[in-house]
Structure formats: C-alpha cells, structure tokens
Structure 1
C-alpha cells in the first residue's frame, strides 16, 4: 500500500515534465525512484521534490524555447517584426508632421513647438529598421530596434517617478518596440517576411500604416474649436477623429476602416499557423491597452503608480503572450495526436 501511495505521488511530481519526456522516460524514472526509496516510505524526500521540479521546469523551458524556432513561429516573427516597425514608423512620421505642419486655425500660442533632432531621429531610425528588415539584414534591424528600446529607457523611463502619467502614456509605443525587437531577433531566413507575404500583401502592409497616418493628419487639421473669427462646430468620433462637418467625419471613419480592413485581409489570408502566431505575438498590446484603460492615467498625471499597478503593466502583457503560445502548442499537438489516431484506425 505504501509503495502504491509513493508511486502516485512521484507521478504527480513528474507531471511538471513535458508530456513528450514523460511518454519516453516516466516509467523508467518511477522505477528508479521507487528502487531508491526507504522501506515504508510514503512521501518523496525533500531533495527529490526539489530535484524533480527543478529538472522538470528546465525541461519545459527548453521545449518552450525550441518551439519558437519552428518554421511557423519564424515566419510569424518575421512578419510581426516588419508590421510593428511599420506602425512605429507611421507613428513617428505623424509626430513629426504634427510639428512641421501646424493647424492654421489654431491660435499661435496653442501651436506645437517645431520639430527637434529627436523627432527626426525617430523617423530616420524606424525607417532604417524597416529598410534593413526588407533587405534581409536581420541583425541590423534587430539591433536598431533594441537600441530604440534602450533609448526609451534613457529618455523616458527615467521620468517614471517625476512624470508617471507621461511615462505610462508612452508604454504602447514601448510595447510595440519590444514586440518589433523581439520578433526581429528570432532566427529566420533573409527576406523571409517578403517571401511569405508576397508582393500584394507586402504593398498593403507598407501602405496601410501610412494611409492611416494621412487620415489622422487630415482629421487633426480640421479639429480646431476656434478659428481666427470665432468658435466653430466640431464633430468627434470617440476622441480619435474630428471634423467640422458630419459628412467629412464619416469620410475619415470610412477611410480608416478601409485601411484597417485591407491590413486585416492581408494577414487573414496567410497560412493558419502563421496568422494565429501573429495574433499571439500582438496580443500583449491588447492586454496592455486594457490595463492602461483601467488605470485611467493621463499625460499630466503626477500621482505615482502603486506597486500592484506597475506589476500589472508588466505581467499582463507577458502572461497574455505566454498563455497564447501555450494554447497554440496544445491545440496543434492535440490535432496531431487526433490525426495519428485516425491514421492508426484506418490501418
């Protein structure tokens, strides 16, 4: 009876190992552990518990890392890295345009200051990353993206205590930069994103963010509440778009919807394993947006973040990605086992 109880407890501990490892070695490991047990022993020794859990977690980590070298993950990473850098380039271009092309209807004291060297560097830097990714210089593209992440830490992250609201408001761009840098670091064949996308999807992927930027800029140039004569009516769409006539506002909305639809179609038509992984790679951005919406921060806020809020901002995106990757792996492994079972039944 004691041997059966000890065996059950050892098998529970072995559940920490990946199922592939258990399928190959579980019986052998259980036999060795039972042979080394003391007479009448009913519980695993503390040393055995620590050793089994440690080795099991390391085995799971190795399996988890290896899965990201699979062709589907490599293809998804190449496309995700290119898409993220294109979005960052569009955002940097929009910020630069805001400073170079002021709204003529905005009073002079409310106009933004002119562009500085940092504004130009952002555009030039992300353009260089996009160009390197398209040419196939993966190491250069990844290195530049990580340099941008480091620059955020130096220029913005250090102000977390003094200007928490402003720092938190920049987190979406930081998260997108982290996604780009991580995706571009995943080993892949040169110009893999171009090969997988094809010419049509690549053109859509490049033009869609720029078209969206154009829509936002046209909206910005028509959202002044006052002109040189006096107040004017302004129609607003969820704080994203604005226009002085309802018809023009809906034209902006239709243009932005067309851009989003074109981008979505270009990604949905990819192979299912690749598009699912792209969704998982981008899921941390959605998790971060939900957390930030719950925090109700604004750029001028001076109230420091609580420890639990800061932890949530970090852990929610990471947990979302890891959960998505695990679900993808489980789903595909289940399908593989079902296919093997059906093949065995036919034989």
Structure 2
C-alpha cells in the first residue's frame, strides 16, 4: 500500500462532506510533510487524523441536531419518555392501591417501598411540566429521578449481577438530557392535542394493566405468559395483552407524526432499543435477575460486555443520525 493510499484510508474516517471539501488539500499537506523514504504514516499523524475525525464528527452531529426539526423531536421525546417511565413505575403502586380499595390486603404482600411510589409520582410530574412548557423545572426533577434510577440499577447489579432492567435507566437519562435542551415549542405543541390524548391513554392503560387483570377482571385469561418483550416477566395473559395495547398506542403516536419528525424520534429512541437488545438477548446469555438453580451467583460482566453496554447505544445513535442525514441530503 502506498503512503497516499494509507492516508486516504485514514481520511475515510472523516464525514463525507468534510472529505469532499478538504481531502485533496489534506493529502497534499501530509505528503509534503512526509520524509523522502517514508512508506507508512507516522504514529503521530495517525493519532492526529483519528482525533480530528472524532472532533469533526462531533461538530457535524451537533450542527445537525441544532436543526429546528431535531429540536421538535427532542421536545416530543421530553414528553414521551417521562410518560413511558411513569407507566413502567406506576404499575405496582396502582396495583397495591387497587387491592387495598377492593379489600384484598392479603394480596398486598410486603409493603411497597416509598421510593417506588415517589418514582411514579416524579415521572408523572415531569410529564405534566413538560407538556405545560416548564422545561427547566421538569429537567431538574427528571435529573433527580434519573440519578435515583442509576443508583437503582447499580444496586440491582450489586445484588444480582444483572443488567436485565437497564433500559429504564437509559430512557431516564435521555429524558433528563432532552429536557435540558432549549426548544422553541413546547412538547404539547409539537405532539398536538389528539396525540397527547393518545399518549395519556397509553400511559394510563399500561400503568393500570396489572390492577385491571388482578382486581377488575380477575377471572379472565389467568394463564401465565413468560416473555421479556413486554418489559416484564411471568404475568397473566390479560395483563400481557393490556400492556401490549398500551405500548402499541405509544408506537402509533410516534408513527403518526410527520415523516421528518418520526424519523428523528426513532433515531433518538435507537439507544433504548440497542440497550434492550443487549440486555435481553445479549452476548453469551448475560445474567438475569434469577439466581442459578444450584444457588450460585452468576458471573459478573467482563470488560468487553461493559464496553458494549456503554459504546453500542452511543454508536448506534451516531449511525442513526448519520444515516438519516445522508437519506435526507439532496
């Protein structure tokens, strides 16, 4: 391989727009700076080119995300994410309240931790504040809730060596980050009123699904289903159907938006999908919350798995943004 071809391989790491404008000039400078008998790039040049490529990608991504349509997508996410997290966190508190109201204290089991009730209330408050346009207050509350969820995930890993329920942590961090971004329109204005009603119905249905299955319609479809794709395990068939309908309404809300907004919302949700795939069907059957049948403790995650958990959502989001930009480019 010639020196020029080696440099062109390195420059391929830069965005296409940057290469189109500067590649020949950069190649000329690099070749002029090379020694007379040099056959391969110096280590210093390799590091400089790779670090420059990373900075250029970050700069281009930041520029793309400053587009008004991206800001509308961020505003929509700042409402979608808290409502989804409320629906996820409120299931047990609502079930306990329904059992108590129906006079079934024996079904309550251990008293529900106060933290579980507070998390459901916190995400509901964040969603209301985001819909009303009080983004700064919502961002503060969402940051506190996200910090608690990080501590919850860390405690779950310390106790069970499990990352099975890591997706709410990622979505909580994204909600807090989305609310910290200034937008020209409120989340309710971006989503529109009828979609806001659909979102509220979806969140309410998903949050009350266990209570409906256990208290309102206790004798209907009682056989259990073991599936991880409704974000829980070992539930009755009725509850699984209700949860599935609620999640379908969330999906329909996203899919019913304009094409430009829909594509950006899906790109923003790529990290959640990536972490869900990694933790539910991940590499080498990653440990689940249950202990091994013989009473042993599952193996801890190795360095490669930790790097995958950190890097894959970030890289898949970068790929989604770049792919979307290339598709929409004239």
Q: TM-score normalized by structure 2?
A: 0.80
TM-superposed CA distance for 1:8, in Å, is 3.0
Structure 2 equivalent of residue 175 of structure 1: 170
1:55 counterpart = 2:29: no
In the alignment, the residues of structure 2 paired with residue 84 and residue 279 of structure 1 have an alpha-carbon distance, to the nearest angstrom, of: 12
Partner of 2:269: 282
Aligned residues: 314
For 2:252 and 2:54, the matched residues in 1 are separated by: 39
**115 and 233 in structure 1: CA distance in 2 versus 1, 3 angstrom threshold:** closer
Deviation at residue 47 of structure 1 after TM alignment: 2.7
**1:339 corresponding residue in structure 2:** none
- Segments of 5+ residues of structure 1 without an aligned counterpart are 226-231, 244-248, 337-347
What do residues 272-308 of structure 1 show as CA deviations (whole Å, max 9, x unaligned)? 1211121122233333333333335125564242214
Cα offset for 1:204? 1.0
RMSD (CA atoms): 3.2
Which position in structure 2 is the counterpart of 1:298? Answer: 289
Structure 2 alignment gaps of length 5 or more: 227-232
Instruction: Spell out the pairing of 1:36-75 with structure 2 (5 A cutoff).
Output: 36-75=33-72
Kindly provide the CA deviation profile for residues 125-171 of structure 1, in whole angstroms up to 9, marking residues without a partner as x.
11221122112222222222221121233455145223334xx3442
| Partner residue, 2:315 | 319
Give the superposition deviation at 1:59: 1.3
Q: How does 1:128-143 map to 2 (within 5 A)?
A: 128-143=125-140
In 1, Cα distance between equivalents of 2:324 and 2:278: 24
Match of 1:265 in 2: 252
The one of 192, 214, 219 aligned to 1:220? 214
Query: What residue is the counterpart of 1:87 in the other structure?
Result: 84
- Contact kept? 1:13, 1:49, Cα under 8 Å: yes
Q: Does 1:329 align with 2:325?
A: yes
Contact persistence 2:153–2:169 (CA under 8 A) = no
Larger radius of gyration: 1
Q: Distance in 1 between matches of 2:56 and 2:50?
A: 10
Query: How far, CA to CA, are the matches of 2:96 and 2:248 in structure 1?
Result: 29
Q: 1:138 to 1:89 in 2, by over 3 A?
A: same
Return the alpha-carbon distance in structure 2 between the equivalents of residues 47 and 17 of structure 1. Answer: 17
Match of 1:236 in 2: 224
